[in-house]
Structure 1
């Protein structure tokens, strides 16, 4: 860096590399003199992002820089959490904003960080009395583990559907296992929506992989219908492995819950071939669009009950 000695430049470049170019004023003044730091900011070569935080450059903030700014501005003990940490762990489809942080309960902090630059998203700060080392991920910036992040994201979600979507997406994308979510839940007695998360994790462990399948299981429980096997596999006439959304083996009833992907012509044709293969073995098949399961569960339940009765099922009183 121009104007700095080789030793100063080397130490500063390493610190900037580790933190995507975002450093605290304390870090910078330990490596450089206060006058040098002030000169870099006044000359426009560095940006002052907020009180005590500097950018060793003068461009707009990248995503990595936004994450580092959030963690450093919140202070010691702060880590990325919830949907933000889960997204950094590779879970796709989650809300990128606001950024979520978690810090120990003894730290006094507001629920939002203020005084941030205009190219920085909102930052929500959550506090917890339960943050064991086993729930922390060695990453840059530091964050909670994927399992803890997903459980927190479900608890902090805007609604029940979003909470279940977070849990299902993380498991469907193979970023976390239901047993790992259950282990985190066991040590978080006060997490929001604890009952919903536990029942959803149990359904995911039983084979559910999509929000539509979770809705279908909830429908069966609510209307006192027997629980089906989810993602049951069988061989078709050509010997290929096929997966069935829901299957009652005893009554040979197969149910497909069609999501938006069934609008694809090739997917539709493949599903029709699979359905025909099942029909030729003598099984009954019912198909419902996912929106109908969610919007008109009584209608779907009535159809299921008629099909199960026709196959010999009787609900025990």
Structure 2
């Protein structure tokens, strides 16, 4: 008997192109292999990773052409050998790094993460990578404690807006940076907003916390990370999780990250009682995939529990149909929106 394939619509990133250079193609998705499932995409989204990938600047992206899409919420429609057929019809989240901008996706069954049946797919999608990243940076890396003060750069972004809410839920005082157009939102989320374009931004940050802060969450990188480091009090922690400042620089995609690693290593080794860390969602997967996956699933469960009970409100900037992925990417890169741009099968 011939293996049953699934017709699939995919968004292809063919080369280093502008958002309108994305291509839509139809294809036949192979039948799931041993240990795999087919997921019908119910929601995916635009993360900073795709913005870097289209420039060829993501640290370990695959060669062009490829299908972007860092994570998704989807429903299992078929299972391969040695996979429980009872998974069919159930909805899960999965972190794929690439491939999720498609109507159907092949996923290893071991990568499926359960989500509550009452969770809206778009809302759940908004907090898969963003929520796990925020949760782990707060609780597994910085080890925050109630009553502390933290700075969140880009507090209006997908990760930033989640960080602010989780930090407030943990009993922290939060200072958040963002464009003035987003200050009302940042304030509503529970943070004190500051204009990230202000030339005296770091002076204003120090004025709000003259004794220093307990943690800084910095996705910007570049030269300004030195200023983030100087905001810390003794015992404080700098958590770097990106290098947005260098995304448009020509040259190697790896060099800015390697320079950042070197700087953080030196700082972390200094006998000053402060810590400097680079957060990597994938850390530990090669060493022990089972442990890594269980940690992902446990932390996503914590985040989704807060979504379901209304404590954490996912910030959905806009929704687009899969065929309009180019417009979704363009909007996400415009720096005019708060939260995450979500892609649905049909908007």
Same fold (TM over 0.5): no
Larger Cα-atom Rg: 1
Structure 1 or 2: more strand by fraction: 2
TM-score (norm 2): 0.28
Structure 1 or 2: more helix by fraction: 1
Specify which structure has the bigger relative contact order, considering alpha-carbon pairs within 8 angstroms and separated by 6 or more residues: 2
